[in-house]
Amino acid sequence: MLLFLLLPRWLEGKIPIENMPIGTVDKGPIEISIAATGKLVPLSEEIIVSPVGSRILEVYKNPGDTVHEGEPLLKLDLASVETEYRQKIDEKEMMKSKEIQAVITLENALAALRMDQQVKEMQMKQLWSDLQGEKYLDSIGASTPDKVRRAELNYAEAKLNLEQLEQKIINEQKNMTAGIRAQQLELSMFDKTLEEKARQLKNAQILAPQTATLTFIQNQIGMQVSAGDQLAIVSDLSRYKVECEIADGHRDKLSPGNRAVIIAGKANLPGTIYSITPSITDGVITFIVVPEDSSNPNLRSGLKTDVYVLYGSRTEVMRIPVFTQLKYYGPGTYEIWVVDGSRAVKRKVKLGESGFDYIEVADGLSPGEKIIMSDMERYKNKTELRTK
């Protein structure tokens, strides 16, 4: 009877170590890293938005379809856009016609002034001749000083009128040039507006921008859409990148070009930091990692991954394998179960830096020792257990 009473207590202090994962303390290199969380998304993805406010008339494709560059995806109601575009073309023709008419009017006015200039030049020559004649007659006593002064005054007045007319012609030429330039500028600005309307009309033909997979399409026929509303997403599902997040405290360890390791299922895939978002949102930095083999079969769209960014290395250090049950949060002292013959002993171990596959052991373990890499939470109040 006593044996049966003691048996449960004896079994309580024993663990089935043969069914537990065991790690070995050894020496070797460690790639020092920081851990981030990530999500796999297509390397190339284009979001197609409506360039104009319109209504969906027809839908030609379904999500999951393979589409080819230039292939129609859906049809928008473009009647109002086309009407507005034609009106703009007519308006441009009217502006060009007005410009031509304005140029003709200005040229006619300028021509009239030049004719007037020629007349005044001839009049001034005649008055000059009259003045010289009066002076001659006065010199021989056949005229009077008053007649000479009147001839001089007539000539001076004609000369002043001619100079005023010449200045008026110069001013009219300047005004004509400025007016033409203003109209040309207005027409140029209108051309840009017309080009934008033409671009909107062209873009309103919703076509596949590349050969890829249609991952989303707005397929509600008759639905009203505004300019900027999302209509479709076309993704290249043969290649992927990882959108990563990490606490902003690690900002100094991130640089474009840094090596990284992507944990996709059971595969460790090398990659490189491609870009880092400069802004910080809620204490989190986002960055993009591109795998070396972006078409690896372990990569799937939407897959959550762990990403380790490598920023240093150490050689020939004592180390243990990484295991999730350890709950490693950085260098410090941890309680680890160590296999000692027929016993498992809880030991305080000082750990250093960590990589994606190994953690540095600073003190408390020796090469060759075995550690239990299983969840030992149920034995947290014990310091020693039997293994046999």
Q: How far is CA 152 from CA 97, 123, 178, 183, 262, in A?
A: 50, 14, 39, 46, 102
Contact 261, 313 (CB under 8 A): no
Question: How much is the pLDDT for 246?
Answer: 94
Give percent of the chain with pLDDT exceeding 70.
Answer: 95
- Confidence at 365, pLDDT banded by 50, 70, 90: very high
Rounded mean pLDDT, 157-174? 86
Question: How much is the pLDDT for 270?
Answer: 94
Question: How much is the pLDDT for 388?
Answer: 66
Residue 296 contacts by C-beta under 8 Å, 6 or more apart in sequence?
264, 267, 269
Rounded mean pLDDT, 323-336? 89
> Which segment of 118-122, 179-183, 217-221 scores lowest on mean pLDDT?
179-183
Question: How much is the pLDDT for 144?
Answer: 82
| Average pLDDT value for the chain | 86
Calculate the dihedral angle through the C-alpha atoms of 89, 90, 91, 93, rounding to the nearest 10 degrees: 90
Does pLDDT of 13 surpass 70?
Answer: no
Does pLDDT of 33 surpass 50?
Answer: yes
Q: Which two tokens stand for residue 193?
A: 């507006």
pLDDT digits (tens, 9 = 90+) for 201-252: 666 678 898 898 999 999 999 899 888 899 999 998 888 999 999 999 889 8
Question: How much is the pLDDT for 184?
Answer: 80
Closest CA to 209 of 43, 40, 49: 49
Task: Tell me the longest C-alpha to C-alpha distance in the chain.
Answer: 173
Question: How much is the pLDDT for 335?
Answer: 93
pLDDT digits (tens, 9 = 90+) for 63-95: 989 999 989 898 888 777 777 777 778 787 887
Question: How much is the pLDDT for 152?
Answer: 85
Whole-model pTM: value is: 0.58
Does pLDDT of 27 surpass 60?
Answer: yes
pLDDT digits (tens, 9 = 90+) for 248-275: 988 989 999 999 999 988 888 999 999 9
Rounded mean pLDDT, 164-172? 86
Domains of the chain: 16-45+233-386 (2.40.30.170), 51-78+204-228 (2.40.50.100), 80-203 (1.10.287.1490)
Does pLDDT of 3 surpass 50?
Answer: no
- Confidence at 111, pLDDT banded by 50, 70, 90: confident
Rounded mean pLDDT, 148-158? 86
